[in-house]
Amino acid sequence: MPLGDTSSYSSGHSILVATTRQRDARPGTYFNGERAAHLNYAEIEVGVPGSHVPGKIELAAKAPGNPKTDFVVERAAYLESENKFIDALNAELSKRPAGSRKVLLFIHGYNTMFAEGLYRLTQVVHDSRAPGVPVLFTWASRGKVAQYVYDTNSATAARDDLDRTIRLIFASHAEQVNILAHSMGNWVTVEALRQIKISGRLPPMRKLGLVVLAAPDIDIDVFKSQMRSFGKPNKPFYIIVSKDDKALRASNFIAGGQTRLGAVKNTAELAQLGAVVVDMTDVKGNDSANHGKFAELAELGPELPSVLAGGIGDASPAQAPGEVRSSLANIVTSPVRLLGGTVKVIRNR
């Protein structure tokens, strides 16, 4: 992921990074898939090409990439302490007006190298035009299909560090903190949130916005146990599922046939636990495994920041059935049509 010539791209995004990965001295690599003894931090500017297609990541065929056609890194710097990380976060927040100082924290999934997680967050933020400050928490995945057990253990080992990162963000000048996790990243995310809950040392939870669990690679029975620790949350978790997710079918096989949360068929049961289920089964995926469909929600364009950075409120019961609704509150009450199909939303009323 070397720095490219960024003299011509559509826009750049400053991504703050907290990671349990080791630093990597190879030019343009920054972090590898091995576990570090402590958290590392960085700030990276990523450029998105003018030819970008929403929902996709245009990877360079050859380093350092062409800014007219590829995602490229414009600038990158390690941050040498958590204080430097918080200073950088507060500096980004200060660029936004009061009332808009929000953070989007993204935790990637299994089989994901550092650059892949960085570019996926950039794609989501760019396509949705989400106004929040993007923060990537990246744990030590080796980015190889055969390293599932290593990745699982890496995610588990990262619980305390994600707990610490969440607390740091909540202690910043952020007015709202929204969390988006994907695949195995949901395991470490829900575990960290559970850990915070049972610690009795809660951060200012009024700052918590949306918690989105996309294609979660979590045993369904484990998730039910975790939810019992939370109790019915004041703000529901939003769980994005797809019954044709091939990656979760493989995970199901490795786990001895135990259903994964992101491929669960009984969505009504999840709704009864206090979750809002976003079923994307009928949406055509951009990846062959149908595991990254959540990124395609960016097709909702300028309304998506209401979900990713602003939260979702209930639709007004006084609204007439045929009335056009401009708010993304609609996503939790009726089907939403994307370019690739229809999203169905199930919630307990």
In this structure, the dihedral spanned by the alpha carbons of residues 102, 227, 201 and 134, taken in order and rounded to 10 degrees, is -20
Domains and their CATH numbers in the chain: 11-312 (3.40.50)
Mean pLDDT of 137-154: 95
| 47 pLDDT tier (thresholds 50, 70, 90) | very high
Residue 313 has pLDDT above 50, yes or no: no
The confidence score (pLDDT) of residue 330 equals 36
Phi, psi of 285 (to 5 degrees): -80, 155
CB 183 within 8 A of CB 291: yes
Q: Which residue shows structure tokens 């550092």?
A: 114
CB 260 within 8 A of CB 228: no
The confidence score (pLDDT) of residue 287 equals 74
The confidence score (pLDDT) of residue 57 equals 92
d(CA 241, CA 243): 7
The pLDDT tens digits of the residues spanning 291-305 come to: 777 777 655 544 544
Residue 275 has pLDDT above 90, yes or no: no
Both structure tokens of 323: 């009335």
The pLDDT tens digits of the residues spanning 276-295 come to: 888 887 777 777 777 777 77
Three-state DSSP class for 88? helix
Instruction: Write out the DSSP string of 134-168.
Output: EEEEE------GGGHHHHHHHHHHTHHHHHHHHHH
| 347 pLDDT tier (thresholds 50, 70, 90) | low
Residue 147 has pLDDT above 60, yes or no: yes
Mean pLDDT of 30-52: 96
Instruction: Return the closest-CA partner of residue 127 out of 326, 299, 287.
Output: 299
Better-predicted residue by pLDDT, 74 or 316: 74
Burial string for 135-156 (b: 16+ CB within 10 Å, else e) reads bbbbbbbbbeeebbebbbebbe
Instruction: Return the closest-CA partner of residue 217 out of 240, 194, 193, 192.
Output: 240
Out of 19-28, 36-45, 124-133, 320-329, least confident range: 320-329
Instruction: Return the closest-CA partner of residue 60 out of 130, 3, 105.
Output: 3
Mean pLDDT of 64-87: 94
Q: Is 222 left (phi over 0), alpha (psi -120 to 50) or beta?
A: alpha
Mean pLDDT of 12-17: 95
Residue 1 has pLDDT above 80, yes or no: no
